[in-house]
A and B are shown apart, each in its own frame.
Chain A
Amino acid sequence: MTTTTLAPTATALRGRRLPKWAPIAIAALALALAAALVHGAGLGGWVLTLTVGALLYLTGLYAVATAVEGRRAARNRTWSALIHSAFVLAVLPLSSVIWTLVSKGAERLDGTFFGTSMNNIGPRDATGGAYHAIVGTLQQVGIAALISVPLGILAAIYIVEYGRGRFANTIRFFVDVMTGIPSIVAGLFVLAFWVLIVSPYVNDGRPGYSGFAAALALSVLMLPTVVRSTEEMLRLVPAPLREGAYALGVPKWKTILRIVLPTALPGIVTGVMLSIARAAGETAPVLLVAGGTAAINFNPFEHNQSSLALFVYSQATDSSKYAPARAWTAALTLVALVLVLTIAAKLLARRNRLGR
């Protein structure tokens, strides 16, 4: 008796399943069908074939799975296929960008590019390099980070740990507003305020275009990103950790410095690196307030400076047939620079944590 009552439930747990090769077979069929359709009708190339193939695969998979496995399993298969295709769609542009950068940027990846500037390089010269632009980017982003990272972290600490009531809310609101400032507006602000009004006092009455002015504009752009990401990270630090430190008689400022900040450090580093990456890629403010130059200028406080992003812009719009190669290599250098900085920062942040 027991066996007969148990039997239906036991078998109900098992259902018919599609064999492992079935989705692959459906995909191959869908592709073949799509190719036949697209090429047979003479409509277009492989992009359309892939798109039609993907749609055919999704419908085919749903139909076959419904027939064999039932509706629930079919929906599960279709949704996971959709999510995987969304992932592929998201990765495609990224890998395309990297491939384009590497393949086109490799042409001028030589010592001359990293060792010389564009000084006295005419339209017919195949040489020339971005040494001056690399120096400019490193100095400007470095100074901007020196300004905005401490300021941003302190502001976030104020908002999370000390700020109460309307004042803190107002600050948070304006930080949000600042996040949306277009970079050209930040550049114009520094142009109007620093270059045209303040700097003439120390520059014999002439407006002082400089790398430092560019750094000021970049720090205006970096500040809200640093504040917001640090704020989020500080909020994630559990309250019991703070209370644990208070209960040991540790003063509040020391609790923040020695317990809260170290706990939130990896996240803060990520936020700071995001802001640095954004600043390193800005062209407009640098063009406005540093002016750009073809020569090497190691002094960020005097005379025009260039930057990698500005170098890419000027080379991409240059009429020389050698300019595009320089632009691509500069773009590749910029991406590699940000990548190296990010990896270095992550490693540093991890070194502070204990190994498990």
Chain B
Amino acid sequence: MAKRIEAVGVTAYYGSFKAIEDINLAVEPKTVTALIGPSGCGKSTFLRSINRMHEVLPGARVDGKLTIDDQDIYDPDVDVTAVRRTIGMVFQRPNPFPTMSIFDNVVAGLRLNGVKKKSILAEAAERALRSANLWDEVKDRLGKPGAGLSGGQQQRLCIARTIAVEPQVVLMDEPCSALDPISTLAIEDLMFKLKDRYTIIIVTHNMQQAARVSDRTAFFSIDRTGDPGRLIEYDATQKIFSNPGVKKTEDYITGRFG
């Protein structure tokens, strides 16, 4: 299921502004990779360019080569919606669809992609909600609105919604930054569980979180405001946090910078 992601010389622009420059990194299947770095260094931009969400904004474009199991994501013949179905995404703020019930939210991806059979939808909803550790909390109120859940539950609902379409890679853009410590723990537990089946890339500002959940860590940084973000160091999480190879990484991790 899980697939390998490789970026070669990826550069992303917002109009004429260069947000990230020359990013080279490879993400192995069934691992959790954390992207860390100061605000504005382009972690989220890089994450969004992996499933072609970057180009949703007017004037935004990506240069370089991004592949998933040797298939070019930016090939002109590639269907954007197929890329996004393969590479799911969880956002910083939980964004359940307000007009839909919990059940409808979970199966939204399937239903809007043409799955109609009730038994399949019900089965997929239960499986996704169980994977997201949310089933026991919501199984008696699947018809209630998704927006009525707590923040942490909403975020797990969004994770359930993402994995209901059975992607191979899950991108998470600071998924816990709007959540309390208990909900954060629930989601970190979930990441451990999901790692068995999916390749996970997570952007986080929380260094302890990066150290706890990830196998490998990529450190992004910028020299000055207005400069493009660069990948400074990419290595095993253990190595980055105990014995980083670059001075800048050490400064950031120990809190002397940013």
Q: Which residues of A pack against B, CB within 8 Å?
A: 164, 238, 240-251, 254-255, 258-259, 262-263, 265, 352-354, 356
CA distance A246 to B109 in the complex (A): 9
Task: Tell me the nearest residue of chain A to B102, going by C-beta.
Answer: A354
CA distance A238 to B147 in the complex (A): 14
CA distance A251 to B53 in the complex (A): 12
Q: Is the CB of A354 within 8 A of B101?
A: yes
CA distance A164 to B112 in the complex (A): 26
Identify which of A240, A251, A262 contacts B91 (C-beta below 8 A): A240
Q: Is the CB of A241 within 8 A of B95?
A: yes
Q: Is the CB of A240 within 8 A of B93?
A: yes
**B interface, over-half SS:** mixed
Q: Is the CB of A248 within 8 A of B91?
A: no
Contact with A along B78-111 (1 / 0, CB 8 A): 0001111110110101011111110000001100
| Nearest CB in chain A: distance from B83 CB, A | 8
Interfacial chain B residues near A352, Cβ < 8 Å: 99
CA distance A280 to B113 in the complex (A): 41
Interfacial chain A residues near B165, Cβ < 8 Å: 248-249
CA distance A249 to B97 in the complex (A): 15
Size of the chain B interface, CB-CB below 8 angstroms: 33
Interfacial chain B residues near A258, Cβ < 8 Å: 112
Q: Is the CB of A356 within 8 A of B162?
A: no
| Nearest CB in chain A: distance from B213 CB, A | 21
Q: Is the CB of B93 within 8 A of A254?
A: no
CA distance A27 to B81 in the complex (A): 68
Interface residues of B in 37-61 (CB under 8 A from A): 51, 53, 56, 58
Task: Tell me the nearest residue of chain A to B52, going by C-beta.
Answer: A246
Task: Tell me the nearest residue of chain B to A261, going by C-beta.
Answer: B99
Q: Is the CB of B53 within 8 A of A248?
A: no
CA distance A238 to B95 in the complex (A): 9
B161 within 8 A of A: yes
| Nearest CB in chain A: distance from B129 CB, A | 16
Contacts A/B (CB < 8 Å), 11 sampled: A241-B95, A243-B56, A246-B53, A247-B51, A247-B53, A248-B165, A249-B81, A250-B108, A258-B112, A259-B99, A263-B98
B148 within 8 A of A: yes
Given A248-B162, A250-B112 in contact, is the A263-B99 Cβ separation under 8 Å? yes
Task: Tell me the nearest residue of chain B to A242, going by C-beta.
Answer: B56
CA distance A255 to B100 in the complex (A): 13
Q: Is the CB of A259 within 8 A of B97?
A: yes
Identify which of B109, B144, B158 contacts A249 (C-beta below 8 A): B109
CA distance A247 to B144 in the complex (A): 23
Known: A247-B162, A354-B101. 10 other contacts (CB 8 A): A240-B95, A245-B108, A248-B113, A249-B83, A249-B113, A250-B109, A259-B97, A259-B99, A354-B144, A354-B145
